[in-house]
Amino acid sequence: MALRPEPTAPFHSVQHALRILEVVAKHSSGVSDIMIARETRLPAHQLADLLLMLRREGYVEQIADGAYVGGISLSLLGSAGPGHGPAVQDKLQRSLIALRDSVGAAVYLSRYVDGEIKITQYADGPRTPKVNEWVDFRSAAHAMALGKCLLTQLDHDSRRDHLSRHKTVRLTSRTTTNERVLFRKLDSQPATVPVLDLQEYAIGTVCAAVPVSAGRSVGCLALSLPLTHAHRLRQAADALNREAAPMLLSLSI
């Protein structure tokens, strides 16, 4: 199933958003969108979309004259300083819950830590159950959307190291077990297109994942749907790609 790429990868969106926040921070009494456009040199439509996202996430606010100032989310994350884990985790969890409700799917935030897959946060519910971990996720990177998404961000040697410890065993009839084929798929995966799992990890489940990496941290944002909702995967994956930028922004500040 081919998905259309988003116009801008989450990483680039975050770079632009951080430039906007730098301008807003420099003009503490407020700055107009015209001045922001002049200083960031962003096209009008892209600036409008990013300002909308920053307002929605609470990073900027508009005051009476329409100028932009820093918002409560920026104050909370910025004032927490180094080691502001709880503030970030709370912000991310609220974002995950909102994303779960908007896409109608369980959503997950995952990182690659010390050579292993780790799901750091997730949001599910009675109508959006999380994937049944019938095989340890740490051993199933080759068969999962989030696992493959993390592997795409590793270099060749790191991938080989991972697969030397976690063999590409067959979990369903759709699982890719040939390492050469798997590496070719990982290498050809466009950065702006969600990685998919179409019943490769578990029969009856489809998933999508997009990179969410800040600095040297390798991470991803993923969702899962029952097979009966597979017709929604394209739309849900596109929404996931759009929402990756706010998640990455929280990790970047």
In order of their start, the domains of the chain are: 88-240 (3.30.450.40)
Confidence of residue 213 (pLDDT cuts 50, 70, 90): confident
Per-residue model confidence as pLDDT tens digits over 119-128: 999 999 999 9
Lowest mean pLDDT among 9-18, 81-90, 181-190, 199-208: 81-90
Residue 105 is given by DSSP the state S
Q: Is pLDDT at 137 greater than 60 in this prediction?
A: yes
Alpha carbons 105 and 146: distance in angstroms, whole number = 15
Residue 217 is given by DSSP the state -
pTM of full prediction above 0.85: no
pLDDT (0 to 100) of residue 218: 85
Q: In this structure, are residues 47 and 37 in contact, taking their beta carbons and an 8 Å threshold?
A: yes
Q: Is pLDDT at 221 greater than 80 in this prediction?
A: yes
- Sheet of 205-211: strand order equals 116-123, 106-113, 219-226, 205-211, 195-198
Q: Is pLDDT at 99 greater than 80 in this prediction?
A: yes
Alpha carbons 199 and 143: distance in angstroms, whole number = 9
Q: Is pLDDT at 178 greater than 90 in this prediction?
A: yes
Segment of 183-187, 188-192, 239-243 carrying the highest mean pLDDT: 183-187
Average pLDDT value for residue range 201-221: 87
Confidence of residue 163 (pLDDT cuts 50, 70, 90): very high
pLDDT (0 to 100) of residue 187: 94
